[in-house]
Structure 1
Amino acid sequence: MKQGKISDYVNPIPIKITDDKAIFKVEKLVPTPYIERVLPLEYAPLYEQLAQLDTAIPKIVCLEKSDRLTVVEEYITSPRLDQYLENHQLTSTEIHDLICQLLDVLEVLHKQTPLIIHRDIKPENIFYDGQKLILADFDIARNTQEEADRDTHILGSLGYAAPEQFGFSQSGPASDFYAVGVLMNVLYTGSLPSVNLYQGPERAIIEKATHINSQKRYQSAQEFKDAITDLGRSSWRLPGFRSHQPARMLMATCGYLLMLFSSFNMEAKGNSAVDRFLLRLSFFMILFMIVLFACNYRNIKDTCLFHSSKSKFVRFCGIIISYLLVATVLTTALAALSVAISSFGL
């Protein structure tokens, strides 16, 4: 039988004490896991900075310097983002929230003196439990140096690392935003932008964040977050008008006019002009809803049945069933309205 030690049990609370015996309630002392990193001494200024920050990064418990730097930081129990994505399909709203949480962390890092650039943002270095995000692994992070024209060490994860991290120039805040843009695309498509660029409303944000020229990317976390917020406001615009591109807006206008013309010039049988009008309106709304579902207007697919499924086929079936349900409710409501109007002799 394995024997424990008396010192493993703490916080005694008396239950019963007599002349010859005493009974206490005690609690077992459970060891708390931590992460220990042994790094070159050149990392000391960076980790001394990180230890002072109050943001969503692992809290540093202690630092010790000798011939090497030893860092002890909290152990994060949440799953890594790549692990979380194995069993969860994030909605557009959840992706926006996750990205904004990440940008909040970067805003704190980039406001330090000197600036802290993470340089390795990817799902494996992010912990996420469905609500809260924690950015970890600063092993290739660096401080910017005003006199430097390029990074001393060429480091970064292929696909997520900005071009300047491979020796073209010094990495800066825009380098982290490049990785955030790549991550955003991966969350939507499961692929890097170079493989499969997301075609939804967030495409313009992703393209700007991952521009090859760092000066043409977002220059601050707030600017990046503002773009996401503005996207939410512009999402009320009808499909075809969200891009502000004249050609697309013209095509959308023609498409909507064609649907109206086809719907209200179709032959409709009814007992009255009102019945015929409502029948034509019903046909137009059915066509219009096809456009809304196909273009994911206001992220409507996030509310469809089975939208959280990992299977694309199941999600597609959920969209079709949801569309049919909405179309049925709409046509039934218009039919009921027609009956109500008829009952009043209109």
Structure 2
Amino acid sequence: MKQGKISDYVNPVPIKITDDKAIFKVEKLVPTPYIERVLPLEYAPLYEQLAELDTAIPKIVCLEKSDRLTVIEEYIDSPRLDQYLETHKLTSAQIHDLICQLLDVLAVLHQQTPPIIHRDIKPENIFYDGQKLILADFDIARNMQEDADRDTRILGSVGYAAPEQFGFSQSGPASDFYAVGVLMNVLYTGCLPSVRLYKGPEREIIEKATHINSQKRYQSAQEFKDAITGLGRSSWLLPGFRSHQPARMLTAGCGYLLMLFSSFSMDAKSDSAADSFLLRLSFFMVLFLIVLFACNYRNIKSMCLFHSSKSKFTRACGIIISYLLVATVLTTALAALSVAISSFGH
């Protein structure tokens, strides 16, 4: 932490003032903006810990204790994530990268002695410029206490706060992972999981992260991150097989066999065996494409026309049009191949 005095920071502009806390935007004697936080002294051990960390959080440049704790931290000149999302729609790859960056920060926080639990992860407390993430606002963060059976204060943002933050048990690393799971769902759908749960391949990760029982959630940032990076290895599996659940895999397998049987047993009147085969293959591919689009295989909907629209109807039209375009291109290509084979035969 850089050395300095509170008196070096001037021109306070109020940002947030409550009964026990105050946050100001201030400047050093040279015109560089900083953030000043005036907090109860009980926050001193936490902010002394934060001042020593080298991770993606606002750097603390000065701490001073009197009857209150005064903290000077760097001013982040980037939009908040909620502001960024108003004008940008993230791709699946960007969401994965953002969540993994966030988990890297949490890994550092949770590895401290005692562990630091943020307890208020949400878009409003994250700065993001499209590439780099910074986790901010530790005003309700706490140190995890091994001998405590529940939180002494009920704090957190509704929708993002884990059940234990409402007094059922002590919050811990899994509480932060709950909020990360909610955030991941919001980034994909724009809604909390309780309103609309994402249906893509990340669904199982979100469901595990937001399980009501903290013991059944991810227990470390690395475990959570491994689940996300593991999607890249399993994302090529066909719909129905990505879950690795026997019942779903059996159902999917039967469905694919039925599609094959119905396609290649159809009466295809043609002049040659090759033409008949390509006609049946074309019919099968049209059916198969419906499955891929319906199941959002490899996040195919994010590549469809109008996928960034806020209108569900417009997005649905974009998916249908995109499907028809792909199906038309595919069947046209197979028809051209059939003509080429016929010409070669003659």
Q: Which amino acid aligns with 2:151?
A: D
Quick check: 1:311 aligned with 2:311? yes
Q: What's the offset of the Cα at 1:31? A: 2.0
Q: Which amino acid aligns with 2:95?
A: I
> What is the RMSD computed on CA atoms of the aligned residues?
1.7
Q: Which amino acid aligns with 2:196?
A: N
Native 8 Å contact 1:35 1:73 kept in 2: yes
Q: Give the whole-Å Cα distance in 2 for the aligned partners of 1:78 and 1:338.
A: 56
Q: Give the whole-Å Cα distance in 1 for the aligned partners of 2:316 and 2:235.
A: 22
Q: Give the whole-Å Cα distance in 1 for the aligned partners of 2:262 and 2:284.
A: 8
- 1:256 partner SS: helix
Quick check: 1:240 aligned with 2:243? no
- 1:47 partner SS: helix
* Runs of 4+ residues over 6 Å off in structure 1: none
Q: Which moved more, 1:284-293 or 1:73-82?
A: 73-82
Native 8 Å contact 1:119 1:175 kept in 2: yes
Native 8 Å contact 2:200 2:299 kept in 1: no
Q: Give the whole-Å Cα distance in 1 for the aligned partners of 2:31 and 2:55.
A: 25
Q: What's the offset of the Cα at 1:30? A: 7.5
The equivalences for 1:3-14 within 5 A come to none
| Structure 1 residue aligned with 2:4 | none
Q: Give the whole-Å Cα distance in 2 for the aligned partners of 1:287 and 1:149.
A: 55
Q: What's the offset of the Cα at 1:263? A: 1.2
Q: Give the whole-Å Cα distance in 1 for the aligned partners of 2:313 and 2:101.
A: 31
Q: Give the whole-Å Cα distance in 1 for the aligned partners of 2:319 and 2:132.
A: 29
- 1:62 partner SS: strand
Q: Give the whole-Å Cα distance in 1 for the aligned partners of 2:31 and 2:216.
A: 49
Structure 1: segments with no counterpart, 5+ residues: 1-28
The equivalences for 1:250-261 within 5 A come to 250-261=250-261
| Structure 2 residue aligned with 1:217 | 217
Q: What's the offset of the Cα at 1:37? A: 0.5
Q: Give the whole-Å Cα distance in 2 for the aligned partners of 1:313 and 1:131.
A: 30
| Structure 2 residue aligned with 1:180 | 180
Q: Which moved more, 1:241-250 or 1:226-235?
A: 241-250
- 1:64 partner SS: strand
Q: TM-score normalized by structure 2?
A: 0.87
Structure 2: segments with no counterpart, 5+ residues: 1-28
Q: TM-score normalized by structure 1?
A: 0.87
Native 8 Å contact 1:90 1:308 kept in 2: no
Q: Give the whole-Å Cα distance in 1 for the aligned partners of 2:192 and 2:345.
A: 62
Determine what percentage of the aligned residue pairs are the same residue. Answer: 89
Structure number with greater Rg is 1
Q: Which amino acid aligns with 2:48?
A: E
The equivalences for 1:108-257 within 5 A come to 108-257=108-257
Native 8 Å contact 1:91 1:308 kept in 2: no
Q: What's the offset of the Cα at 1:285? A: 0.6
Q: Which amino acid aligns with 1:113?
A: T
CA shift in 2, pair 1:310/1:89, >3 Å: farther
Quick check: 1:287 aligned with 2:295? no
- When the two structures are aligned, how many residues end up with a matched partner? 318
Native 8 Å contact 1:87 1:310 kept in 2: no
Q: Give the whole-Å Cα distance in 1 for the aligned partners of 2:219 and 2:162.
A: 14
- 1:248 partner SS: helix
Q: What's the offset of the Cα at 1:286? A: 0.9
| Structure 1 residue aligned with 2:19 | none
Q: Give the whole-Å Cα distance in 2 for the aligned partners of 1:45 and 1:53.
A: 13
